[in-house]
Chain A
Amino acid sequence: MKKLIALTAILLSAPVISDERAEIMANPCAACHGTAGKVENSAFMPLAGIKAEVFVKTMKEFRTGERDSTLMRGLALAYTDQELEAMGQYFESLPKGGEK
């Protein structure tokens, strides 16, 4: 019962970002980082299969400048922590090789 209450609290506290919404937010990334996070390009890293926590940490470091960037700082500043987490979960769920 306690678990159920805790669960309900979590679900009610913040608007849930659906998987589809996360995917829609992550789709612009594909222009550089590849469709479904897969790219073979010396300049841009693939995002398919990246651990969500690594994605979120990296984006937060772009925000502060702790991690240097050209345009990633601007992008990272536009999304909320919750949105970054959702996008990170999406990229983590993508297979690294082969077709989606």
Chain B
Amino acid sequence: MISRRNFLGMALAAGAAGLLPLSARAATGKVVVIGGGVGGSTFAKYIKMNAPQIEVTIIEQNPIYIRPYGSSEVLNGHIQMSDLEVSYDALRNKYGVNVVVDKAIGLDADKRVVTTASGAKFDYDRLVVSPGIELLYNRIEGYSREIAETKAPSGWIPGSQTALLRDQIRNMRQGGTFLIVAPPNPYRCPPGPDERGALVAEWMQKYNPTGKVIITDPKNEFVTGQDMRLGWNRLYGYNVPADMREGMPALQQHSEAGIIDWIREVDGGRPLAIDAQKMQVETEQGFIKADVINVVPPMRAGKVATAFGLTDASGWCPVDPYTFESTLVSKVHVLGDSVSASPLPKSGFAANNEAKVAAYAIINLFAGREVEEPSWENTCYALAGKDYGFMVIGVYGMRDGKIANLPRPGFQTLDVSDTKHRLAAVYQQAWMKSFTEDSFL
């Protein structure tokens, strides 16, 4: 039997480029990648897999990657800090990527040269910038990087602040309050702040049963909101606000306040100022005293994107969706959280997928061929507890020259069985492994 693939292959001229594997086509060039996170690493791997003759150099500040996805699981002891570490050895040894530990500090976009802190110069045919996010600590009165590193950690970029936050939670007095200051849109990992609240609430049930988790939020909703609130209601005694119960399955009505509380914007949740000495946060509805304060500050594109003129007034980087080439600086592409490519979210999954689209596009550009139509998904798992998961289901394609959400259910239905929630938690754990493998290994 002749497969459709072979059938078309024979039907069209044998030399039709569109039917040859990518690797068989001529495409040479030199790519420099700034940032070895999910976007940069996936990009480098997929370029080298498909066109090993292309020279790829990653400039990355840290010798080992510390993954942000899943890093809230350090806070409740599901995993250790060392479990977040991902090596660049496979990129170097298996795929032949030149991974340089250095910091990009200068760009000459006309001459196409990047300079680094060590004084090295890297010339490129295409530059890919994938720097993640910059946390704007100073946007909240009373908050600063220094306070985040010593007193009221953020931990939204994982590292020493994550470890500090974990220790603060562990050492908190019995009956203490853990306060999360949630960020305004847009931000990295849309379900993340509320998932973090759930995981700490679960930890408290066991180790600090009279403790409290409060999330104070400048927003009225977040991605996976209904699933998360249902999980909080079932697991942590949370009462869903009366105006948010429509369309939800039977809810428990708890007579006493639960472990977790979420204060929306309409209820005065917007944070106004932080006082790290008094350990309190001023919000529109009043002051909240806490024993541990975790601030997820407003954010924008990673610093190097701003420094290189890749951001617009929004603080994020506008790009051509077919290639992820910056619309502001030619031959420079931007990937991951730094990009404004709505409706693609600021998630690791999206960064991984954008990287693949950009890799194929750049191979085609080097070969002087037309860029193929892109396609994206975003399937993120989130937890309300270690055995209670749910997910976001996103599929995106080009419609009328723009990235569009394709019609499909965006979430599971809310009435799924406990088994389904357990299964989603199993998949969440499995995804941490398979996703890291696809991006780095």
Contact = CB atoms under 8 A, between A and B. Distances in A.
Interface string B410-421: 111000000010
Contacts of A78: 395, 406-408
Contact of B349 (A31, A35, A75, A93): A31
Given A24-B357, A39-B437, A70 B18 contact: no
Contacts of A11: 8, 11
Interface string A31-46: 1111110010111100
Q: Chain B binding site: helix, strand, loop or mixed by DSSP?
A: helix
B353 interface: yes
A16 B372 CA distance: 12
A73 interface: yes
A97 B421 CA distance: 33
Contact of B379 (A7, A34, A71, A92): A71
Nearest to B405: A78
Size bracket, chain A contacts: 35 or more
Contacts of B374: 24
Contacts of B391: 70-71
A35 B18 contact: no
Interface residues of B, number: 48
B79 interface: no
Contacts of A35: 45, 49, 437-438
Contacts of A20: 18, 22, 360, 372
B357 A41 contact: no
B49 A32 contact: no
A2 B10 CA distance: 17
Contacts of B11: 7, 11
Contact of B375 (A24, A32, A92): A24
B18 A92 contact: no
A16 B19 CA distance: 11
B34 to A, nearest CB: 23
Given A7-B11, A42-B430, A74 B393 contact: yes
B438 A100 contact: no
B222 interface: no
Contacts of B379: 28, 31-32, 71, 75
Name the residue in B356, B408, B412, B430 with the highest tally of chain A Cβ atoms < 10 Å from its Cβ: B408
Interface string B386-414: 00000101010000000000111111100
B434 interface: yes
A13 interface: no
B5 interface: yes
A18 to B, nearest CB: 4
B349 to A, nearest CB: 6
Given A32-B435, A71-B379, A78-B395, A43 B18 contact: no
Interface string B340-372: 000000000100110011001000000000001
A28 B438 CA distance: 10
B5 A19 contact: yes
Contact of B4 (A32, A43, A85, A100): A85
B3 interface: yes
A39 to B, nearest CB: 6
Contacts of B393: 71, 74-75
A84 interface: no
B434 A92 contact: no
Interface string B3-19: 11100100100000011
B4 A89 contact: yes
Contacts of B21: 19
A75 B377 contact: yes
A59 to B, nearest CB: 12
Contact of A77 (B408, B426, B433): B408
Given A31-B438, A33-B434, A71 B18 contact: no
B18 A25 contact: no
Interface string B261-296: 000000000000000000000000000000000000
Top 4 closest pairs, chain A to chain B, by CB: A43-B430, A74-B393, A78-B395, A28-B377
10 contacts: A11-B8, A20-B22, A20-B372, A28-B349, A28-B356, A28-B379, A44-B427, A44-B430, A70-B423, A75-B395
Given A11-B11, A18-B372, A28-B376, 14 more contacts: A11-B8, A24-B360, A24-B374, A28-B349, A31-B353, A31-B434, A35-B438, A70-B424, A71-B393, A74-B410, A74-B412, A77-B407, A78-B408, A89-B5
